[in-house]
Structure formats: C-alpha cells, structure tokens
C-alpha cells in the first residue's frame, strides 16, 4: 500500500503541474509549499485517511447499535426523530440532503456519546516542530507527544457516570453552544448590515461622481462650442478688416 501511494505521489510530482484546482487530497498536500511536508509524510497522511473507512467507522456503527440496544428509550427517541424528518420530506416531496442533519439534534447527541464512550481512536501522536509550552510544561522541538483521548472521555471530573451511555448529557452543552452561536450570529449580522450600508454609500458616491463627470463633460462640450464660435467670429471680423 505504501509503495502504491508513493508511486502515485511520484507520478504527480513528475507531471510538475501546479494547478489551482485540486482533484484529490494528494494534490492538496503536494501543492502545499511547506518544506516539512515531505512525500513520506504525505504518504503517511493518506494511509491515516484510509483507516477510518476500513476500521474505525464500521466499529463505531457497531458500538452505536449495541449502545442503543441497551437503551430502549434512546432508541425510541432516535427512531421518532428520524421518522419525523422522513415524513416531512415525503410530504414536501423532497429528498434528504446533507444539511438535514441540523434538524436531528438527538441523533447528533447519540453520535457524540458513541464517540465519547467508544473511543475507537484512543489517541493521536504529534511531533513538536518548535518549542512549545503547555500549562508550564516545555515540549522541546523534535519531541513526540501522545494525546490520550480516553483520559478525557472517561474522566469522572468531566462527565457524570462516564461509563454509562447517556446521549442526553450533550443537551446542556448544545444549549450553551446555541446561546454562544446566537451571540456570534448577532454580532455577524451587525457587521453584515454595516457592510451593506457602506456598500450602498459607496454605490451612491460612485453614481454621484458619474453624474458629476457627465455634467463636467456637458460643460466642457458647451465651452468648446462657444470658444469655436468666438474664434470663427474673430477670424471673420479680421477678414472684413
């Protein structure tokens, strides 16, 4: 697999075409100008992207089925939420689209709780590209660190009964996020309104400038006509004399 990916990377390198339109993830990584993003690192990233589709996602789905089987109330609420959306779409004669997940808050809670309790990916390795200080601890450049997800997801200081499947625990978090999002949307709305007002003022200024240019053009044209008439009259008087 590694050799196959490296051959694809080499083939793209040999074409030596820096396109602004990336056809795949490899193109995105190749077109990155970072000197630290070597072909070997690109190959490792591609393999890392393949793992979820082959391993973690199927296991996570299996765990979700298991957790829901042990929690009939959660299964019923999840089923009702999705059937409600299905009936609405049928009534409106529409097909499901990606944005429909926004109308499935409890489904998202189930996904979040399955990810927390399942811990399919127990952690990630990261290499410090420069000296980093975190909470008083120095991580020197070149050192590798391991972020252990389970130590957070199963911490009883952060979650009540952390080993219990409870998708409703995320509702409070979602309400807080909703308030924060409403504040951000309000601020963004004011920024957008101010920008629209400025754009309108700019358009009005451009229109006024255009009218002034037309007026100046008319004045200049009239001035040229009068000057030409005066010159012709002067020449005629000179001829008569």
Residue 64 lies in a domain: no
Residue 26 lies in a domain: no
Q: How far apart are CA 94 and CA 173, in angstroms?
A: 31
Q: What averages of pLDDT result for each successive group of 10 residues across the chain (241 residues)?
A: 83 68 78 77 82 79 94 96 94 90 93 92 88 92 92 93 95 59 61 71 72 67 68 66 61
Residue 162 lies in a domain: no
Residue 223 lies in a domain: yes
Residue 144 lies in a domain: no
Q: How far apart are CA 238 and CA 241, in angstroms?
A: 5
Q: How far apart are CA 189 and CA 178, in angstroms?
A: 16
Residue 104 lies in a domain: no
User: For the purposes of burial, counting CB atoms within 10 Å of the CB of 6, is it exposed (0-12), middle (13-18) or buried (19 or more)?
Assistant: middle
Cβ contact 110:74 at 8 Å: yes
Q: How far apart are CA 126 and CA 48, in angstroms?
A: 13
- pLDDT given for residue 185 in this prediction: 56
| Closest CA relative to residue 118, chosen from 155, 165, 84 | 165
Residue 194 lies in a domain: yes
Range of the domain at 185: 171-240
Q: How far apart are CA 37 and CA 35, in angstroms?
A: 5
How many domains, in total, are found in the chain? 1
Cβ neighbours of residue 26 closer than 8 Å, sequence gap 6 or more: 8, 9, 12, 42, 46
Torsion sign across C-alpha atoms 95, 100, 101, 106: negative
Q: How do strand 137-139 and strand 132-134 relate by DSSP bridges?
A: antiparallel
- pLDDT given for residue 6 in this prediction: 83
Residue 221 lies in a domain: yes
- pLDDT given for residue 20 in this prediction: 61
CA 60 to chain centre: 24
Q: What are phi and psi of 2, to 5 degrees?
A: -60, -45
Q: How far apart are CA 153 and CA 163, in angstroms?
A: 9
Structure tokens at 29: 């990584």
- pLDDT given for residue 37 in this prediction: 78
């Amino acid at each position: 697999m590694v050799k196959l990916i490296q051959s694809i990377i080499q083939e793209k390198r040999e074409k030596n075409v820096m396109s602004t339109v990336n056809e795949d993830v490899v193109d995105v990584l190749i077109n990155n100008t970072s000197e630290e993003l070597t072909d070997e690192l690109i190959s490792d990233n591609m393999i890392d992207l393949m793992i979820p589709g082959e391993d973690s996602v199927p296991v996570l789905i299996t765990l979700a089925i298991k957790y829901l089987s042990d929690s009939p109330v959660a299964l019923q609420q999840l089923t009702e939420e999705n059937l409600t959306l299905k009936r609405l779409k049928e009534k409106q004669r529409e097909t499901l689209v990606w944005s429909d997940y926004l109308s499935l808050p409890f489904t998202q809670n189930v996904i979040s709780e399955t990810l927390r309790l399942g811990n399919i990916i127990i952690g990630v390795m990261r290499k410090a590209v420069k000296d980093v200080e975190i909470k008083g601890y120095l991580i020197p450049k070149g050192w590798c660190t391991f972020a252990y997800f389970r130590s957070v997801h199963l911490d009883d200081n952060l979650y009540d009964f952390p080993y219990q499947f409870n998708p409703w625990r995320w509702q409070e978090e979602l309400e807080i996020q909703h308030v924060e999002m409403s504040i951000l949307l309000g601020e963004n709305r004011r920024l957008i309104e101010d920008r629209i007002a400025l754009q309108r003022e700019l358009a009005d200024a451009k229109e006024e400038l255009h009218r002034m240019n037309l007026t100046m053009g008319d004045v200049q044209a009239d001035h040229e006509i009068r000057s030409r008439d005066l010159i012709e009259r002067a020449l005629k008087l000179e001829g008569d004399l």
